[in-house]
Amino acid sequence: MPERCVLAYSGGLDTSVAVAWIRETYGYDVVTCTADLGNVADLNAVQQKAIASGAAKAVVVDARDVFVTFFVWPALQAGALYQDKYPLATALGRPLIAKLLVDTARDEGAKYVAHGSTGKGNDQVRFDLAVHALAPDLVVVAPMRGGMNMSREEEMAYAKQRAIPVPVTKKSPYSVDENLWGRSIEAGVLEDPWQAPPRDVYQWTVDPNEAPERPSVAVVGFEQGVPVSLDGKPLTGPALIEALNALAGKHGVGRIDMVEDRLVGIKSREIYEAPAAVTLHAAHMALEEMVLSRDVQRFKRQVAQEYARVVYEGLWFSAHHQDLAAYVRSTQRFVSGEVKLQLHRGAVTVVGRKSPNALYQEALATYSKADRFDHKAAEGFITVFGLPLRTQARAQRLWAADDTAALDVPRRAIEAPASAPAVKRKQRASQPRPKLGR
Ligand code: ARG
């Protein structure tokens, strides 16, 4: 019996050709594996196409719930934005697809798994590393990284010769990857970072200049850092994300245009559309401001950067990720409540937040009569808090006139007319010498 190879199959031209190419080049039986992460319109059609392309078997999985529950929500809870911008849609999808490849390989007794990533991107690293971590005995085959080397025209000809169905629609001038959490677009004219993205780059978001004049308001409910409702209506993860992608997209929210540092060392111009992700990150952050202590807020920002890097670099199935995730989960115990957002012409603005666990206390914050804060106590606090500054000022004269010369601004003054009644000043006894701690 020939060896089996499980190929991550999208139904596109590249992976369709790869089915035949792997079979003919290595003599393996190819089992395709297609996961719907919110990006596959018709799994049955993809399955048929895989068989028509020469697959021995075509496996499909609806992985949307798992994707959201175990990949998207933890990343949202972490506040994971690569380079403070990219919500990591593609990066979060890859380890799940790799996991499904490994499971299928086990079912099929396959020694090989394959993917259609090129040798220049991050996705190859993510697939390979995830497979290595889950199944070090499996061998990864990546035809697009070496061996297959076909131009699009060659792929079309190769497919036609073998009666492999070829795309009937015109090829997009971009390289696109999509799932529920976002759409990643690269290549074509985008490779010139001075070029504004042409209209056809965007499919999920309207141009903010053409977005409705009137804003929409949305209320997102969170339970321990996980979005659970929209406008008071409980929704499953995928449904909530789909609803927000549509609503925020209609208002032009969620466009990201950045130059990104790829793991392989290349800087790359990337466009993302992530209306739900951008909206939910804004909402989640706003709720955290209400319920997390200052220390956790500060430290968690560092964890968020590290978490984003680990996800971006394909280290999902690492101990380091497990440890970071455990910290993140613990921080989310009190992150429950609601956030009110306004979506308008490309901007998402938080306009309200509430939580039963809020550390925000109106009685402490208020400037009104209801104030319960002890103003007098602030003096003692400042005396101690400022002690190092006063000590340094006395001992080292840090801010001598020379040091602040650049800040000098001409002073202008006028005198009150001599006729004005002079204020009678009390003759003051000389000031008491300050204590050393003062
Ligand atoms: N640069 C992004 C990332 O590394 C998006 C990659 C998109 N992949 C693609 N085949 N177009 O996560």
| Active site annotation includes 200 | no
The predicted structure's pLDDT at residue 438: 65
- Is the beta carbon of 123 within 6 A of some atom in ligand 1? yes
The predicted structure's pLDDT at residue 34: 97
pLDDT digits (tens, 9 = 90+) for 42-99: 999 999 999 999 999 999 999 999 999 999 999 999 999 999 999 999 999 999 999 9
Is 428 within a domain? no
pLDDT digits (tens, 9 = 90+) for 147-187: 998 988 999 999 999 999 888 777 788 999 999 999 999 99
pLDDT digits (tens, 9 = 90+) for 400-430: 888 888 999 999 999 999 886 666 666 555 6
Q: What is the DSSP string of 106-138?
A: HHHT-SEEE----SSSSHHHHHHHHHHHH-TTS
Is 268 within a domain? yes
Q: Which residues pair with 7 in a beta bridge?
A: 32, 114
Q: What is the mean pLDDT of residues 237-246?
A: 98
Is 420 within a domain? no
- Is the beta carbon of 118 within 6 A of some atom in ligand 1? no
The predicted structure's pLDDT at residue 70: 98
Q: Does 155 lie in the same domain as 106?
A: yes
Q: Does 196 lie in the same domain as 344?
A: yes
Which atom of ligand 1 sits closest to the CA of residue 94?
Answer: 12
| Active site annotation includes 261 | no
Share of the chain above pLDDT 70, in %: 96
Q: Does 26 lie in the same domain as 141?
A: yes
Give the residue among 109, 108, 112 at the shortest CA–CA distance from 131.
112
- Is the beta carbon of 175 within 6 A of some atom in ligand 1? yes
Q: Does 217 lie in the same domain as 150?
A: no
Q: Does 137 lie in the same domain as 23?
A: yes
Q: In whole angstroms, what is the distance from residue 347 CA to residue 248 CA?
A: 9
Q: Does 124 lie in the same domain as 15?
A: yes
Which atom of ligand 1 sits closest to the CA of residue 82?
Answer: 12
The predicted structure's pLDDT at residue 171: 79
The predicted structure's pLDDT at residue 172: 84
Is 318 within a domain? no
- Is the beta carbon of 128 within 6 A of some atom in ligand 1? no
| Active site annotation includes 16 | no
The predicted structure's pLDDT at residue 429: 59
Q: What is the largest CA-CA distance in the chain?
A: 113
Q: Does 357 lie in the same domain as 255?
A: yes
Q: Does 123 lie in the same domain as 103?
A: yes
Q: Does 115 lie in the same domain as 15?
A: yes
Residue with CA closest to ligand 1 atom 8: 177
What CATH number should be reported for the domain holding residue 25? 3.40.50.620
pLDDT digits (tens, 9 = 90+) for 334-365: 999 999 999 999 999 999 999 999 999 999 99
The predicted structure's pLDDT at residue 430: 62
The whole domain housing 357 covers: 175-292+334-363
The count of domains in the chain is: 3
The predicted structure's pLDDT at residue 402: 84
Calculate ∠ Cα 95-98-100, nearest 5°.
115
298: pLDDT strictly greater than 80: yes
CA distances from 352 to 48, 338, 342 (A): 49, 8, 9
Q: What is the mean pLDDT of the chain?
A: 94
Last residue of a domain, one of 113, 137, 161: 161
41: left (phi over 0), alpha (psi -120 to 50) or beta: alpha
Q: Does 223 lie in the same domain as 192?
A: yes
Is 315 within a domain? no
Mutation pick for ligand 1 pocket among 13, 270, 313 (CB with most ligand atoms within 8 Å): 270
Buried b (16+ CB within 10 A) or exposed e, 197-222: beeebbebbbeeeebeeebeebbbbb
Is 9 within a domain? yes
φ and ψ at residue 75, rounded to 5 degrees = -70, -35
Q: In whole angstroms, what is the distance from residue 247 CA to residue 199 CA?
A: 19
Is 438 within a domain? no
Using an 8 Å Cβ cutoff, are 115 and 127 in contact?
A: yes
434: pLDDT strictly greater than 70: no
- Is the beta carbon of 10 within 6 A of some atom in ligand 1? no
Q: What is the mean pLDDT of residues 103-118?
A: 97
Q: Does 277 lie in the same domain as 197?
A: yes
Identity of residue 147? G
The predicted structure's pLDDT at residue 364: 93
What CATH number should be reported for the domain holding residue 256? 3.90.1260.10
Is 131 within a domain? yes
Q: In whole angstroms, what is the distance from residue 14 CA to residue 250 CA?
A: 32
| Active site annotation includes 123 | yes
The predicted structure's pLDDT at residue 423: 65
Which atom of ligand 1 sits closest to the CA of residue 122?
Answer: 4
205: pLDDT strictly greater than 80: yes
Q: Does 138 lie in the same domain as 179?
A: no
pLDDT digits (tens, 9 = 90+) for 356-396: 999 999 999 999 999 999 999 999 999 999 999 999 999 99
